[in-house]
Amino acid sequence: MTQPDPLPRGCSEILRQSARTPWLARNELVRYAALPFARLLFAWCGVRWGRGWALYGLPLIQRHRLGTITIGDHLSLRSTRGSNPLSPAHAVVLSVRRVGAKLIIGSHFGMTGGVLVADTAITIGDHVLIGANCTVTDTDFHPLDARLRRSDPAHGESAPVTIEDDVFIGMNCLILKGVRIGAGSVIGAGSVVARDVPPGVVVAGNPARVLRKVSG
């Protein structure tokens, strides 16, 4: 009796992994089922779809029609609770709120349940990972002066944010306006970053301060 051909090595490995970690298999099934809707969402918002993107749940995109959102290849966004054991509190938010504002994201970017809000510019390099439920914003949202809040409550001060290549930001961090985070640096979980961070260091705390150099 002829035996059936074995499954290709890649398929059999996928099946083995699915049996060991069924929640990952479910995430992939949901991702592929939602793919047409994800592509339609990005097209509707005027954002080019890149190669190798993996979206677990649909993000919330708020793009001013005279603003810019540009994202590189191999994007990974996790917006559903089951997509990460740290359980994102909400969908990923990509927001460009004003005329001429820019959100520029490089390749191999990953984020779980986070928020990126640009009134002026947020620029993120390649191979940047941002942990669960972080917020990166280049604006104060509201003026500090009470008289200005009465006349124009949504026009807080803004200054560009830059996150260079290979930065890792731990969960529940807040990155504030005007900050530059140097290449290869690590931001400890729960940190509030209000000042520039040099390259290749570990920072943590509120306000975040340099603890040591990143080990080679």
The CATH number of residue 104's host domain is 2.160.10.10
Residue 1 resides in a domain: no
pTM of the full structure: 0.88
Residue 116 resides in a domain: yes
Q: What is the mean pLDDT of the chain?
A: 90
Strands across the sheet containing 208-213? 54-56, 76-78, 110-112, 129-130, 168-169, 186-187, 201-205, 208-213
Residue 89 resides in a domain: yes
Residue 2 resides in a domain: no
Would you name the residues annotated as active-site residues?
142
- Comparing C-alpha atoms, which of 71, 134, 68 is closest to residue 107? 71
Residue 100 resides in a domain: yes
* Stretch 167-177: mean pLDDT: 97
Q: What is the pLDDT of residue 147?
A: 84
Decide if pLDDT at 60 tops 90: yes
Residue 144 resides in a domain: yes
Number of domains present in the structure of the chain? 1
Q: What is the pLDDT of residue 205?
A: 96
What does each C-alpha distance from 87 to 38, 54, 103 come to in angstroms?
A: 21, 17, 25
Residue 3 resides in a domain: no
* Stretch 114-131: mean pLDDT: 97
* pLDDT single digits (tens) 76-119: 999 998 888 888 889 999 999 999 999 999 999 999 999 999 99
Give the range of the structural domain holding residue 114, as residue numbers without chain letter: 9-213
